[in-house]
Structure 1
């Protein structure tokens, strides 16, 4: 097998971090990981820093999937992100997952603390699926745990990874692409960096559209208060067909998203020859 071009992969990875910040999916916190194609037992993710400020190799570490600890010494001055266990444990449980995304967008948090289910409301968001699980970390705390909602160890990372659930057709890729995290944010999985970026942007878009529709419907009819929201969500067939379409044309918005961050002086990508 021909070795992967890791520099090119990480250039795309840095673009993804910048794009996700530009579109409000990631703020000063949050992170993205990508499995090492030359060594599936390791993954790359940023050190403890704001995603928008990642610019080159000194900002990215390589970690073991087995325990989420450094596979290489890397930058000795950089701190490891506390929640790297989200990535390691999810990549460990699902061998066909190559990318894990974690963010704290407030529109997603709102669904995590309410009883309103996040459902696919637009053909651009089939990755939402028929339902989105909500991981409640408080159910897994032990007496001596720091109860700050952060996924600080392998045990909590494994509990979150299990929430994605295994498909009836495969034990190597999960049933759900997105999982809410109570009072915290969300996590998402994908096969590649571009698709993970798409998922993050349109999961957030879907959350905004659904919230707006619910407010409009309630203001117009009052039905939401009676437990009937009246929203036209996608059917299972519509979700499936939309997903087959959208996954094949992700390169179309990707070119625009990259250009948006290339011309913005906030974002620096030392690995991009065009920047």
Structure 2
């Protein structure tokens, strides 16, 4: 178990910083949102409270306890209040090794329409399945805690555990769903590596854009959007198509990674000063 950043492999730190830069470059995050990576069964790494695009130095990084979501470092810089999203996902799913929380405006609308779930409609996003679950902070947590401030922020372990549960228990220490939406807030995305979680976060947003475009095109050309869910006529993936593409196509996440690294390495906004 790493006890300090000095014990963490520099190549991993570099990859983590690149991941922060890439998700900003692809508009998965802006000034808000965050990436984390598990270092061991009990420790994960996350940047301090700052815009992901500006993460550059070892001093920007903090080690956290999976068990408590609290910093393991003395005099650690201020962290994100929603780090409990990450700690509780790692606690619930021991084979998840990276987590992203995003406020993507392409994805948020699907958290507001129970009758129109986000679902796989492009082959690279088959991992989304036929209906991405939506976690509702009010229905899932606030109704049992009426005196708690309803900021919609996942700022304690109980809320984090409730959100993690929405991903559903799958097999081999993994969630049943790679992604869960958060009503009026954003989404949480999980993966077995930094490369994989970055790819899934990017393609979740791309799928959302394609789905929105398809539904809008349907409405403009046929008027069928007047049906109950506004999607009749859109040819989404069925269970088998989503399952098969989810197990195969996205496994090529290593293919776009060098391109994404080149994109941010050539941009003066993004710096690495390890």
Q: Give the TM-score range, shorter chain.
A: over 0.9
Structure 2 distance, partners of 1:67, 1:137, is 20
Report the equivalent of 2:81: 82
Report the equivalent of 2:122: 122
Report the equivalent of 1:156: 159
Q: Determine if the alignment matches structure 1 residue 236 to structure 2 residue 235.
A: no
Report the equivalent of 1:103: 102
1:119-163, Cα deviation, whole Å (9 max, x unpaired) = 100001112112100000012111221211100100100000000
How far 1:5 sits from its partner (Å)?
A: 6.1
1:185-238, Cα deviation, whole Å (9 max, x unpaired) = 000111100000000100000000000000000111111212352111112222
Determine if contact 2:127/2:245 at 8 Å carries over to the other structure: no
Structure 2 distance, partners of 1:210, 1:162, is 26
Indicate the RMSD between aligned Cα atoms, in angstroms: 1.4
How far 1:270 sits from its partner (Å)?
A: 2.1
Give runs of aligned pairs for residues 44-63 of structure 1, distance below 5 A: 44-63=45-64
Structure 2 distance, partners of 1:222, 1:86, is 40
How far 1:164 sits from its partner (Å)?
A: 0.3
Could you say if the C-alpha distance between residues 151 and 257 of structure 1 is closer, same or farther in structure 2, counting changes exceeding 3 Å?
same
Structure 2 distance, partners of 1:73, 1:231, is 54
Report the equivalent of 1:43: 44
Structure 2 distance, partners of 1:161, 1:171, is 16
- In structure 2, the residue corresponding to 1:124 is in which secondary structure? helix
Report the equivalent of 2:4: none
Please identify runs of 4+ aligned residues in structure 1 that moved more than 6 A. none
Report the equivalent of 1:247: 250
Report the equivalent of 2:26: 23
Determine if contact 1:61/1:74 at 8 Å carries over to the other structure: no
Q: Which of residues 14, 17, 39 is equivalent to 2:17?
A: 14
Report the equivalent of 1:221: 222
Report the equivalent of 1:179: 180
Q: Determine if the alignment matches structure 1 residue 197 to structure 2 residue 198.
A: yes
How far 1:251 sits from its partner (Å)?
A: 1.6
Determine if contact 2:43/2:64 at 8 Å carries over to the other structure: yes
Q: TM-score, normalised by structure 1?
A: 0.92
Structure 2 distance, partners of 1:5, 1:155, is 29
Report the equivalent of 2:131: 131
Report the equivalent of 1:92: 91
Structure 1 distance, partners of 2:134, 2:197, is 19
* Count of residue pairs the alignment pairs up: 262
